[in-house]
Amino acid sequence: MITIATWNVNSVKARLENVLDWISSATPDVLLLQELKCMDEAFPFAALEAAGYSCHVHGQKAYNGVALLSRLPVSDVMRGLPGDEADVQARYIEATIDGKIRVASLYLPNGNPVDTEKYPYKLAWMDRLYDRAKTLLGYGMPVVLGGDYNICPTDDDVYDPAGWASDALCRPESRARFRALLHLGYTEAFRAVNKEPNRYSFWDYQAGAWPKDNGLRIDHFLLSPTAADRLESCRIDRAPRGKEKASDHTPVLCQLNIA
């Protein structure tokens, strides 16, 4: 059995104590982090290695940044999403875990405001992710694409569908590209095992969103067919969002029956 968690920590240095506290009890085998907001050399390697994880980082100063932490052997690490050599934003890292499963940590662009260059960038990035996801299906091993997708797949995943309809996270063009990944054969892990609406992984810091449960479900695992066949569970752990100095996201955990 392997447990993979994803968590947008919204600054790994600011949330380090929360991360260390959480992994001491949740003990995921693999932890995918997003929005590190630091360069590689500023990443807290020592503290996380002392907690039992090898750390593989694709950082960026002040913005973005992704990491893949593992208690299991890691090989063939790839940093950056293929398809645009001019794209310098640190949003994607991928590796093989224990020689058995290919895992990626991704931080998909937000895309707002939609009337700026940020939205075309989001859609183009999703097109590149589609190409990579399609390529990975030929790898001959289970594939897990986990992270902050900045997409509410359906109206069941946003507290106010009408109010968010024109937002980049909910626009039909965004959702269509997310569905295209599913049409390749990927399974969205949480919805495969939990059909209940209004289950969220993100609550804004503004307007009392957390106590009002005005949330969004934007952190997802997409599983290739051979990974989906091994899916045991997928759940959202709300507890870290209620702590002091919390990230605005909370962890999502996926368990696969892979020996």
What is the C-alpha end-to-end distance of the chain, expressed in Å?
5
Write out pLDDT tens, residues 206-256. 989 999 999 999 999 999 999 999 999 999 999 999 999 999 999 999 999
Catalytic residue among 107, 119, 186, 200: 107
Write out pLDDT tens, residues 57-76. 999 999 999 999 999 999 99
CATH number of this structure's domain 2-256, picked from the four choices 3.90.1300.10, 3.30.390.50, 3.60.10.10, 3.20.20.120: 3.60.10.10
**Measured distance CA(215)–CA(107) in Å, rounded:** 18
The pLDDT-based confidence of 17 (bands split at 50, 70, 90) is very high
Q: What is the DSSP string of the chain?
A: -EEEEEEE-S-TTTTHHHHHHHHHHH--SEEEEE---S-GGGS-HHHHHHTT-EEEEE--SSS--EEEEESS-EEEEEES-TT-TT-----EEEEEETTTEEEEEEE-----STTSTHHHHHHHHHHHHHHHHHHHTTSSS-EEEEEE-----SGGGBS-HHHHTTSTTT-HHHHHHHHHHHHTT-EEHHHHH---S---SEE-SSTTHHHHT-EE--EEEEE-HHHHTTEEEEEE--GGGGSTT--SB--EEEEE---
Instruction: Average the pLDDT over 110-115 and give the result.
Output: 96
The pLDDT value given to residue 199 = 97
Q: Residue ranges per domain, the chain?
A: 2-256
The pLDDT value given to residue 140 = 87
Q: Is there a catalytic annotation at residue 119?
A: no
Average pLDDT, the chain: 97
**Measured distance CA(81)–CA(91) in Å, rounded:** 7
Q: Is there a catalytic annotation at residue 84?
A: no
The pLDDT value given to residue 219 = 98
Write out pLDDT tens, residues 129-167. 999 999 999 998 999 999 999 999 999 999 999 999 999
**Measured distance CA(115)–CA(93) in Å, rounded:** 29
Write out pLDDT tens, residues 120-134. 999 999 999 999 999
Instruction: Average the pLDDT over 82-110 and give the result.
Output: 97
- Tell me the percentage of the chain whose pLDDT exceeds 90: 98
Catalytic residue among 29, 53, 92, 148: 148
